[in-house]
Amino acid sequence: MKQLHVFFIGLTALVFLAACTPAASTKAPVETTLTIMTHDSFAVSEDVVQAFEEENNVILVFLKSGDTGAALNRVILTKGSPEADVFYGVDNTFLSRAIQEDIFEAYAPAALSEIPEEFTRGLSGVVTPIDFGDVCINYDKAWFTEQGLAVPETLADLLKPEYGGKEGEGLLVVENPATSSPGLAFLLATIAEYGETGYLDYWQSLKQNGVVVVNDWETAYYTNFSASSGHGLQPMVVSYATSPAAEVIYASEPLTDAPTASITGANTCFRQVEYAGILKGTQNLEMAQRFIDFMLSPRFQEDMPLQMFVYPVNPAAAIPEEFTRYAVTPAEPAIFDPVLIANRRDEWIRDWSGVMLK
């Protein structure tokens, strides 16, 4: 009897607690609020946000909305009365789709002139490049040393029998481009190398050489890759050029050297560039512009690498030591016209699935 009373009183208390806590944690709206819609991988330091907030008397609210596709969908579906003022995180594989949907207010920050032309080409001042990262094959350094095997240098090398195995038991694990963004990036790299006519043959040979396909980066990296904590069977994985640096920073014991490295030969990597844009319909246009400016400033740009493991587009921003020591930037990453990607990606993925998943 008594227990039941206590139980219900407890429940009621819980509800009130729950109802009150979130309300209590929201600050009083004395200043304007700037809302930034972004993907789940977004991260930033507290003091960097604070600096901007204090300087501009504004409160920044970040809406994380799943992966890039999910976040972009949200923005497209709420076109006209956007939930946010700024959208950060659309990359070059999705960019032209976003531009077609006409969701962005044109804005070209003054600092854009300092950004390498590579990142600004063809943008017509709608979005601003913020960061880039290269999707590359990571390899397990110790494994190759132990086996006395040379590390492959090109995509063609991957077809050699020494990197192969029975079907599904080769040395390389890749992600499904239909469900994973690094998977799509790597597919694009192979298309850049072999062209639209040759890439399917290449993948056919890769399949015969035992390439392993999984759905997501988490599985590829943590289950299949031999140098990760999962200690899988594949010594090569499609990941990011910065992953070796992350392995050092997030090691469970201090490491003197990275356990992994990237293969950075010509067209083995694909460069993902992420952009930010002001959403049409914003009530805070001027503040949104100031925030885009801020994102290009060294303060923000220098914070990004260790938060998100990406490179700043602003050459003036200093690169952290871990990056210079353990990560290599490929000299000749695969480069694509965003419009071409937008027009052809669905077909490429479908054809790829036809070869690889049947």
Residues 60-99 that bind another protein (CB under 8 A): 61-67, 69-70, 72-74, 76-78, 81, 83, 94, 97
What is the smallest separation between the CB atom of 344 and another protein, expressed in angstroms? Answer: 12
Q: Does 349 bind another protein (CB under 8 A)?
A: yes
Report the site for another protein in 262-301 (rule: CB under 8 A).
none
- Nearer Cβ to another protein, position 15 or 316? 15
Question: Sign of the CA dihedral 78, 81, 84, 86?
Answer: positive
Q: How far is the CB of 226 from another protein (least distance, A)?
A: 8
| Under rule CB under 8 A, residue 178 binds another protein | yes
**Residue 184: both structure tokens together:** 């799509």
Please report, as residue ranges, which positions from 115 to 144 form the binding site for another protein (by CB under 8 A).
140-143
Instruction: Using the minimum distance from each CB to another protein, give the nearer residue, 99 or 112.
Output: 99
- Cβ proximity to another protein, 189 vs 310, nearer residue: 310
Give me 259's structure tokens.
């356990």
Residue 273, beta-bridge partner list? 132
Task: Write the DSSP assignment of 158-223 as a string of letters.
Answer: GGSGGG--STT-SSEEEE-TTT-HHHHHHHHHHHHHHHHHHHHHHHHHHHHTT-EEESSHHHIIII
Counting Cα atoms < 13 Å in the Cβ hemisphere of 102 gives 1
Strands 236-240, 270-279: parallel, antiparallel or unpaired by DSSP? unpaired
Q: How far is the CB of 159 from another protein (least distance, A)?
A: 21
Q: Please calculate the CA angle 348-349-353 and round it to the nearest 5 degrees.
A: 120
- 114 touches another protein by CB under 8 A: no
**Which of 51, 108, 306, 355 touches another protein (CB under 8 A)?**
306
Q: Is 3 in the site for another protein (CB under 8 A)?
A: yes
- Restricted to residues 11-30, the positions that interact with another protein (CB under 8 A) are 11, 14-15, 17-19, 21-23, 25
Question: Are 27 and 74 contacting, i.e. CB atoms less than 8 angstroms apart?
Answer: no
Query: Residue 132's CB: how many other CB atoms inside 10 A?
Result: 21
Residues 202-261 within binding reach of another protein (CB under 8 A): 213-219, 221-224, 227-233, 239-240, 243, 246-247, 249-257, 259
Residue 111 CB, nearest distance to another protein (Å)?
Answer: 23
By CB under 8 A, tell whether 31 contacts another protein.
Answer: no
* Min separation Cβ 345 and another protein, Å: 8
Name residues whose C-beta falls within 8 Å of residue 24's C-beta, 6 or more positions apart in sequence: none
